[in-house]
Amino acid sequence: METIKNLQKVSLVFFIIIGLIHLVTSLIINRTFDLPFAFSALLYGLSSLKINLNHFYPEKKSLNVLLPGLGIISLGLLIYFNFFTPDI
């Protein structure tokens, strides 16, 4: 459980740093690359969800498979929509 808490702390730092850079660059240029921001948001959100759900379901090992799987699927969909759909 300490690994997840450390991951949450580190991902919060990256989420804040990348989020601030994203906001500043989106004010300067119109189109930015959103995948690093989305990845750090997913990492922070899923690690926070794991920590909070672990308080309610401490014996559930399926969360160790479900949450990373959800993150991989979400990131895969973001990559697909970013690279393989036309810009409007």
The percent of residues in the chain predicted with pLDDT above 70, rounded, is 84
**Which pLDDT score is estimated for 87?**
62
Check: CB of residue 11 under 8 Å from CB of residue 40. yes
Where along the chain do its domains lie?
A: 2-84
What's the whole-number mean pLDDT along residues 9-14?
A: 81
Long-range CB contacts (within 8 A, 24+) of 34-39: 34/78, 34/82, 35/78, 35/79, 35/82, 38/75, 38/78, 39/75
pLDDT digit string (tens) for 68-81? 888 889 888 878 87
pTM of the model: 0.60
Q: Tokens representing 59?
A: 């014996």
* Average predicted confidence (pLDDT) for the chain: 78
Q: How far apart are CA 12 and CA 34, in angstroms?
A: 17
